[in-house]
Amino acid sequence: MTVAVDDALWSAIGDPTRRQLLDLMLLRSAATATSLSEELPVTRQAVAKHLAVLDRVGLVHGTQSGREKRYAIDAAQLARAVAQLTAVGDTWDARLRRIKHIAETVEKNRANRAQED
C-alpha cells in the first residue's frame, strides 16, 4: 500500500516544540496557548505561533473561547500522519532487508573465494 506523504504535515511535525505541544495536547481534550506555555520553556506567543502552524496543516483546530483560542487535536489528521509514518517505516524496513541480503551475499562470496585460495 502506497500512502502519499504530505510534506507540509511532516515539516510541521518535524519541529521538536510542535511535537511537545502535540504530546501535551494528547493528554487533554483542549488547551490554550497560555496553558501550554506554562509547561514549556517558550513564551505564550511562541506557542501560539507553533499552534498556528499545526492548525494550518490540520493537526489541531482552534475555537475562540473568550480572549483566547482553545486548541484540540484533530484525530483524523493525526491518524493520517500515523498511517504515513507507518508506510514510510515499512518502506525503509524493506530497503534495509534488501541491503542486509546484499551484504550477506557479498560476505558469503568473499568467504567462498577465500576458501578457494
Number of domains composing the chain? 1
> Residue 107: inside a domain, yes or no?
yes
Give 50-73 pLDDT, tens digit per residue.
999 999 999 999 999 899 999 999
The domain in which residue 106 lies consists of 7-116
Give the integer Cα–Cα distance in Å for 67 and 26.
Answer: 23
Contact call for residues 73 and 31 (beta carbons, < 8 A): no
Give 25-58 pLDDT, tens digit per residue.
999 889 999 999 999 999 999 999 999 999 999 9
> Residue 1: inside a domain, yes or no?
no
> Residue 52: inside a domain, yes or no?
yes
> Residue 73: inside a domain, yes or no?
yes
Closest CA to 11 of 44, 54, 40: 54
Question: In terms of C-beta distances under 8 Å and separation of at least 24 residues, what long-range contacts does 64-71 make, across chains too?
Answer: 65/32, 68/32, 68/33, 68/34, 69/32, 69/33, 70/30, 70/31, 70/32, 71/25, 71/30, 71/31, 71/32, 71/33
Looking at residue 2, its pLDDT comes to: 56
> Residue 2: inside a domain, yes or no?
no
> Residue 83: inside a domain, yes or no?
yes
- Give residue 117's pLDDT band: very low, low, confident or very high (50, 70, 90): confident
Contact call for residues 5 and 14 (beta carbons, < 8 A): no
**CATH number of the domain where residue 81 is located:** 1.10.10.10
Give the integer Cα–Cα distance in Å for 58 and 32.
Answer: 17
For β-strands 68-73 and 60-65, DSSP reports them as: antiparallel
> Residue 94: inside a domain, yes or no?
yes
Give 67-111 pLDDT, tens digit per residue.
999 999 999 999 999 999 899 899 999 999 999 999 999 999 998
